[in-house]
Structure formats: structure tokens, C-alpha cells
Chain A
Amino acid sequence: MNYQKSIGAIALAALLWATVGTVQAFDEAKYPDWKGQWRRGDAGGPRYDPSKPLNAQQAPLTEEYKAIYAASIADQNAGGQGNDPTYTCVPPGMPRIMSIYDPLEIVITPSTTHMFMQHIHDSRRIFTDDRPWPTDFEPTFAGYSIGKWIDTDGDGRYDVLEVETRDLKGPRAYDGLGLPLHRDDKTIIKERLYTDKANPNIIINEITTIDSALTRPWTATKKYRRVATNDKAVWPESVCAEGNQHVEIAGQNYFLGADGLLMPTRKNQSPPDLKHFK
């Protein structure tokens, strides 16, 4: 009888251990399998709305910002960089980051979902620990992101990550043509990320940008495609400063030649003012 009681006690202890273990350990099985290396899943170059060409995004810009966009394109046509701040290795920031210029790795932990992308300082932390919005956060190009995992079909596993991003700094543009965001940097970005039901190697990101340069919230749907598992993935290092030949001096863009000396980027461009040299 004592022997039987012992077996029962051991069994109970084992059950309890299992329960405690479940509470303490990170149960990866509750989250979608987003391991591996992801790349842009839409054809063509990086842009905010992949359903439209880069030069025909039809962004609902205010009249003021339509003029800024037109000026950016005109400047680029004249050899300048227009409204695209990334040429001197300034990060693209949100929401442009999510056009994925370099391969993406998503690392999920209970408290944070990390999005690792090299490019120019593009990585993000999405906090999923139920924290409140900070009251004194220094704005950043990637912004401050709070997310929530949702089990939409009630099967006990999370299938959607909802994210809101605020506290952004600028200058930021949506794309390489310099499609502008408002200078007030009050942008709010909302995202819904989930696995494509028809293809586990596709993540869909429904992204909505709310910005003072827009007449209404602007929504686009992006796709990311898994191209390698973790054991096969090769992660290139992208160091923008290395080999970048563009230099900005007093608001003007110059080029560094092979000998490291300044060169003009447009016809008849003047060299920098040397008034501080005697």
C-alpha cells in the first residue's frame, strides 16, 4: 500500500513538475514559426505600396507635401538626392524599414519580438510585455513599438502580431524617390503581421501609416518570403559608412572621388564655403 502511495505521489510530483516547467519555460510552440531568413516577397524594388509602381504610389498627400514630393523628384532628375535622407547613411526609419532592404530575421521571445535587419540601422524591438507607452522617450528613426500577440482562431496558438509604432524622428521618406512624411514626426504606424494561410513561408504585413502629410491613413499590404532556414542562412554585414561616397556639407551633396577628394554632383556646383579657414 505504501508502495502504491509512493507511485501515486511520484506521479503527482511529475505532473506538478510538468506544470511548473510549462509556466517557467518559454513555450515556442505557442508562437508562429517565423524562424529563418526573410526577404521582400513582392516583385520589384522596395516601395511602400507593393501593389503600385514606385513612381505611381498614389499616396494621399496633402497639397503642401505633393509639392515637396515633386521638388524631390525634380532634384533627383537634376543629379541631386532630393528628399531621400539615406544617401549619407541616415537610417530609413519606419515605415520604410519594413520594405526590407536587407534580409530579415525575426526572433520571438515572450517579452520582445526582435526584427533584425542590417541595411542602415533598421532593426526593431517590438515590446510584447504589456508595458505602457513611455512618457519621456527620445524619438528614434525606428520609433517605439508596442505589440500584442493574438490568437484569432482560438486554437491556443498566437497567429497575429499587432503592432503600433510612435515616437519617431526624422527626416524620413517612404522610398528612394523621397516620398515624404511630415516634418512634425507625429507619425503613427499600425501593423498586423501573420502567416499566409496558403503558404507558411509567406508573412503578410498589413501596414497603415497615419501622418500629417497625408489626407487620410494610408494602408498597404506587404509580403515577406522565407528564403532559408536558420542553419542555412548566410547573414551579410551591411555597413553603409563603408565605401559610401556621398558627403553632405552645409546642405549640399558632394561626391568623394577615388582619391578621397570632393567632387561636384551636378554641373557648375560650387565647392563648399571655406569661410572658417584663414
Chain B
Amino acid sequence: MLCLRSIAATAFALVASVATLQAFDSTKYPDLSGQWLGVRLPVGGQPAFDPTKAWGRAQQAPLTPEYQKVLEASLEDQKNGGQGNWHPGDSCLPPGMPAMMTLFQPMEVIVLPETTYIRIDHTHESLRRIYTDGRDWPKEPIEPTFVGYSIGKWIDEDGDGKFDVLEVETRHLKGPRPLDPAGMPTHVDNQSIVKERIFYSKTDPKILQNEITLIDNAFTRPWTVLKSYRRHPEKYSEWQENVCASENVLVKIGKETYFKGADGNLMPTRKGQPGPDFKYFQQVSK
């Protein structure tokens, strides 16, 4: 009897000991490994914030009248060959939050107990650190960034001992951060707050979903959308580098955007566009 009790005690002590050594029980978290691609619905146009509607005006974004005008001006400029309000185009600026979660390029998610990392190489190498270590918002002023400062919390919704939802709030953003290639604007005050719930679809467990709510002063109310991501089927997915600077054929000079032709020389992006002003050069251009 004593012998058996000793075995039991030893076994449970071992369990406790092993559990202590295992700093990270990955089985408690959903498997988010692999390469994730944005699910595109046949709605037309380029990928937009609400994936169920076409880009531009068809998004039916709850914009304030002031920011509806900003969108209209962007669309008008794009109609004339410009880039409008979409800065990743000619300026190689990162899309930032929340546009980056549209997944213009593949996403990798790395889950560790203290931090969930989201890496998306689009225009810029954008890396989100979602802190899940129980920290509070920084008390000291922090430098705003395009990806913002994100605090997350893993939730076991169904009580089965495993986490199934990652709730995230993102603040401290900088701009400009348009929401889509049409130039759907966010407010210039950059006071956006982005809330996310990331979870596997209950109807299709292969689909990862992200319910995003954007709270921003360019909108009359919080704007909530549901994005879906699918895992790339290949075992060893290829991660391509997306380096805007080495691939970009657009160059912005003054307020005008030009093409760089095959010979490297400047070309107009619209009919009748004048060449750049060379007032700082002593010689007259050819």
C-alpha cells in the first residue's frame, strides 16, 4: 500500500515537474502554423476592407461627409492616372492596420505564450507583435507606428481547456493608412482603434476568420467586417520577398507620379502630363 502510494506520489510529482519545465504547452493553442492567404470573393475590383463588397464606393463605408469627399478625390485622381489616396502604390509606404489584414500577400502566424507574431511582407516587411503576456497599455507615450501597438487575449470559449479565440485591440497608429487600393481613407488624426477576434470558422474548420471592427473618426460608426483566410496546401510554402523599392516602377516627384520605363527613364502616367520641374538644375533638360 505504501509502495503504491509512493509510486503515485512520485508519478504526480513528475507530472508537476514536467509541467513546470514545459514553459509552453503548444497543445493549448490552435494550430495556426503554415502560410495563410486571403479568401477572395467574386465581388469585383481589388481586395477591399469589407471582402463581401467590391472596392471603392461599393464598400458602402459609413464615411462622414468630409471623408466621403476624400474618397471621391482619390477615385477622381486614380481615374486620371494618379495613385489617389493609396500610398503603398507610388510611395512604398506600408498599408498598416487594419488594411494589412486584408492579406495582399501571404501571412505567417507564430504563437508563443507571451506574444503572437503576424508577419506579412507587402510593400514593407510588416511585423505585428500581439502581446498576450497580460501587460497593460503603455503608460509612457510611445511612438506611433503603421502596425500599431497590439494587446491580445486568448480565450477558451467552449471550456474544453484549449484556447479557440484570440481577441486583439490595436492602438497608437500612424498614417497615412488607407483601407484599400481605391484609397478608402482613415482619419488624419490617427486615433483609430482596431478590434479583432481571430478564430477558426465553425462551419469550415479549415478557414481562419478575423472579425475586425474599426473605430475611426472618418466614420460615423464602428465598421465591422469579417475576413477569411485559407491555409496554403503545400508542405513547404514559398515565402516571397515583396520589396516595393526594388520592384516599384512609379516615382513621385513634387505632386506628380511618373512611370519609370524599360530604359529607366521617366514616362508620363497620364495624357498631357508635363515633365517634372527641373528648377534646381543649371542645365536645361534635353
Q: A21–B25 Cα gap in the complex (Å)? A: 8
Q: A239–B122 Cα gap in the complex (Å)? A: 12
**CB pair A249 B14 closer than 8 Å:** no
**CB pair B241 A121 closer than 8 Å:** yes
Binary CB contact string for chain A from 111 to 130 against chain B (1 if under 8 A, 0 otherwise): 11010101011110101000
- With A109-B110, A274-B266 known as contacts, the answer to whether A14 contacts B25 (CB < 8 A) is no
**CB pair B264 A250 closer than 8 Å:** yes
Q: A15–B142 Cα gap in the complex (Å)? A: 48
- With A25-B25, A235-B129, A261-B279 known as contacts, the answer to whether A90 contacts B239 (CB < 8 A) is no
List residues of A (157-190) whose CB comes within 8 Å of B's CBs: none
B242's nearest neighbour on chain A, judged by CB, is A121
Q: A241–B145 Cα gap in the complex (Å)? A: 14
Say whether A134 faces chain B, with CB atoms less than 8 Å apart.
yes
List residues of B (53-104) whose CB comes within 8 Å of A's CBs: 91-94
**CB pair B27 A21 closer than 8 Å:** yes
**Hey, which chain A residues are within 8 Å of B275, CB to CB?**
274, 277
* Interchain CB contact (< 8 A) of A90 among B110, B246, B267: B246
Q: How many residues in B have their beta carbons less than 8 Å from beta carbons of A?
A: 78
Closest Cβ of chain A: how far from B38's Cβ, in Å? 20
Main secondary structure of the interface of A (DSSP, over half): loop
Interface bin, chain A: 35 or more
Say whether B37 faces chain A, with CB atoms less than 8 Å apart.
no
**CB pair B254 A259 closer than 8 Å:** yes
**Hey, which chain B residues are within 8 Å of A261, CB to CB?**
253-254, 276-280
Say whether B33 faces chain A, with CB atoms less than 8 Å apart.
yes
List residues of A (5-64) whose CB comes within 8 Å of B's CBs: 7-8, 10-12, 14-15, 17-18, 21-22, 24-29
**Hey, which chain B residues are within 8 Å of A15, CB to CB?**
11, 14-15
List residues of B (217-275) whose CB comes within 8 Å of A's CBs: 236, 238-241, 243-246, 251-255, 260-261, 263-268, 273-275
**CB pair B268 A8 closer than 8 Å:** no
**CB pair B238 A249 closer than 8 Å:** no
Closest Cβ of chain B: how far from A274's Cβ, in Å? 4
**CB pair B245 A89 closer than 8 Å:** yes
Closest Cβ of chain B: how far from A65's Cβ, in Å? 22
Closest Cβ of chain B: how far from A269's Cβ, in Å? 7
Say whether B117 faces chain A, with CB atoms less than 8 Å apart.
yes
Say whether A198 faces chain B, with CB atoms less than 8 Å apart.
no
A19's nearest neighbour on chain B, judged by CB, is B18
Binary CB contact string for chain A from 202 to 240 against chain B (1 if under 8 A, 0 otherwise): 000000000000000000000000000011001111011
13 sampled A-B residue pairs with Cβ under 8 A: A7-B8, A21-B25, A26-B26, A107-B110, A107-B117, A116-B119, A125-B239, A230-B115, A262-B280, A272-B265, A275-B286, A276-B261, A276-B268
Taking Cβ atoms with an 8 Å cutoff, the residues of A that contact B are: 4, 7-8, 10-12, 14-15, 17-18, 21-22, 24-29, 88-91, 107, 109, 111-112, 114, 116, 118, 120-123, 125, 127, 131, 134, 137-138, 140-142, 230-231, 234-237, 239-242, 247, 249-251, 256-257, 259-264, 268-277
